[in-house]
Amino acid sequence: MTTYLDHAATTPMRVSAVEALTTELGRTGNASSLHAAGRSARRTVEESREQLAAALGARPSEVVLTGGGTEADNLAIKGLFWGRLAQDPARRRVLVSAVEHHAVLDPAFWLAAHGGAEIVLLPVDGDGRLDVDALAAELDGSGDQVALISVMWANNEVGTLQPLDDVVALARRHGIPVHADAVQAVGQVTVDFAASGLDALTVSGHKAGGPHGTGALLATRGLPLAPVLHGGGQERGVRSGTLDVPGARSFAVAVDEAVREQPALAPRLAALRDDLVRRVRAAVPDAVLRGPEPRPGTGSVPRLPANAHFTFPGCEGDSLLYLLDSAGVQCSTGSACQAGVPQPSHVLLAMGVDERAARGALRFSLGHTSTPADVDALVAALPDAVTRARAAGLASSGLPTGLRTGGPR
């Protein structure tokens, strides 16, 4: 039996979303066509847009459908930069937190290499939370040169919730638009676009139980957003391409259900997460929880309710992942692998974790199908996996296997 603890990577499709997708796949019609089939497809798209908007606290006209979260992030970063630059050539600075997903970091650095942007990585504290004072100092010094700010709603690796209210308040003083990647947040915490004060927000279908290849950028009307894709002028002229009618319908159904279930699901997942954290610490006493400490019973949610991220001293995360996988437990390292070489997580490094410790990271993430049996299976498999991973690490280092490599006893 397989235990799935990687819902932050993708979560199983909801039954309602599968049904919506398969129903629409049997229909024909291009939403840009004027005949009856096209008008029917357009009606499906617009009803889906309305459903998404209602679930996320937005106006239907603010929902720009995309092919996923990465495309939406690229549209936000590049589109806002180019749009703002056209208005004021002096605004070339792009401020992003140092713990953003690569879907934000990479387009930002691409703009630096190819578009004349100046990137500022905003620091975070040891829990991965944005240093608001550093942002304030940056804006006081060069606010009139900033094109945009991008700070994620919740971190995808360690689950830290970011102080977006503070970010938006500071940005407003300088007339700077703010974008947030909320891919991990939807369905776990309350996400209300209008109430947030944000100018742009990214959501993704497959993180909420919808299909892969679906997503949206919520963008306020009047936002200077230059297109990244050019063609037929669909989606307000900023995202050309034939609309994915089945995907839009299934995406909307999944997000709507995830948002409606969130008030009941989040406490259940938080209780499971707290049990997982407690039992992992008991099974591997020197395991280090990364990100904010959960506060059971306080009503405070310093991190996503479904996220538990640990580093295991003396272990390589990849080794642990494969050992757990062979035992039927699926999770994630949260680190990048470039050219076949495992790299420590940029998120952990930004939090001040040293490179050696960062290599021993594992992320366990829960979702709408998770049960206490999943935690039981992890705890049963973890001690042996850690022992074997440490032995493998010592063997590869050439040290005697009886020696410890550090960490508390």
Residue type at 277?
V
Q: Among residues 337, 373, 395, 399, which one is catalytic?
A: 337
**What CA–CA distance (Å, rounded) separates 51 from 57?**
10
17 and 253 Cβ atoms separated by less than 8 Å: yes
Helix (H, G, I), strand (E, B) or coil at 227: coil
Tell me whether residue 315 is one of the annotated catalytic residues.
no
**What CA–CA distance (Å, rounded) separates 268 from 276?**
12
Helix (H, G, I), strand (E, B) or coil at 336: coil
The DSSP result for 29-89, as a single string, is --TT--SHHHHHHHHHHHHHHHHHHHHHT--GGGEEEESSHHHHHHHHHHHHHHHHHHH-T
Helix (H, G, I), strand (E, B) or coil at 364: strand
List all residues 6 or more positions away from 319 whose beta carbon is below 8 Å from its beta carbon: 388, 389, 392, 393
Q: Count CB neighbours of 116 within 10 A.
A: 11
> Which residue numbers are catalytic?
337
